[in-house]
Amino acid sequence: MFPTGGKKKDVTTPRICAVVWHNGEFIKWGDARVHVMSHVLHYGSSVFEGIRCYATKRGPAIFRLREHMQRFLNSAKIFRMDHEWTMDDFCEASVELVRRSGLEQCYIRPILFRSLDEERPAFGVNPFPNPLACYIGAWDWGKYLGDEAIEKGVDVCVSSWNRLTPNSLPAMAKSGANYMNSQLIKMEALLNGFAGGIALDDRGYVSEGSGENIFLVSNDVVNTPPLSSSVLPGITRDSVIQICQELGIAIKERSIQRAALYVADELFFSGTAAEITPIRSVDHISIGSGGRGEITARIQKVFFEITSGERQPPGSWLTYVREQRAHAPEQRSASAGDNGRQSESKGVPEARVSPAAAPELVARTHAVAAE
């Protein structure tokens, strides 16, 4: 009766890094566990990031690592998650994680959340009694909206679900709780046969996708909703803006009406997971020629030239893993963890996990959302 394709699978995950960074040290993937009564599981008290590492001729290169980690720190600050880690701690941990993974390309997921003090558990909404736990994992993730989407584009709908109002939950923070809204948008789209959804803000103006920022091209001008439209300040979004400026393409931040989507010359999504993905139709209305537009193709070409290391970016956008100094992980006390146990960080092999060797690890990552 209803389409079920969206229920069955997410992006294929062929390989997973066998180690995870946890509160300052590296532990085995299988030892990264959370107590079922942790605050985060009941109240969504987490902030996270999504960062891509690309394969280049100079080896793995992490895309805009410091900018992502600054947003990670900002998200934690907004939710009053006071912690001891610094920008350099998170950046060095990410570089070392990729180095240990042996992967040439991967997706990096830092997450900071309210856990559980098992000796003095607290179960209420008040988050302050609960300790913080931080993890960084990595896996090889394909094209989020499908391999063909980059060239042919995707079909999307305008969601019946609005984006959160800025004074209800902060849209500029990348928090787990916000992504319940994203899940509603995504599920509705998938069950109705679309690849994704576009949400409006509380005033009825275009906001963003379930995990992507959006750009509209009209009369050779690239437009994107302002942050005031409950938009996450996307790192890829900022990259597109800078690429447009470098190419001499007019770029404007402005409020966009829903109807403007239907009559646009071109539309495309941007995001760490989506990268630059053309939109070929909205609500079954063909956009432009019904495929990837000329300006979208130009921006996309430059973006992938930069991420592959073939083109000089506007700034220091690539962190080449093999060219960074190796940092030995600092050993922190067990009290910094989420379960009061000392993590096993010694003797962890630099290995990768395949679906054949551990299919359950792959299955667990399929539920991960990304932007």
Just list the catalytic residues: 174
DSSP strands (E only) in the chain: 15-17, 19-22, 25-28, 46-48, 51-56, 59-63, 106-114, 132-140, 154-158, 196-200, 206-209, 213-218, 221-224, 250-253, 266-271, 275-282, 285-286, 318-320, 352-353
Contact 60, 105 (CB under 8 A): yes
Residues 6+ apart with CB under 8 A from 139: 13, 15, 16, 17, 106, 107, 109, 365
Closest CA relative to residue 274, chosen from 161, 369, 139: 369
Q: Which helix (H) or strand (E) holds 238?
A: helix 235-247
Contact 267, 279 (CB under 8 A): yes
Vertex 310, ends 305 and 312: CA angle to 5°?
85
Residue 366's alpha-carbon distances to 133, 139, 184, 213, 277, in angstroms, are 22, 11, 17, 22, 20
Closest CA relative to residue 101, chosen from 23, 22, 25, 26: 26
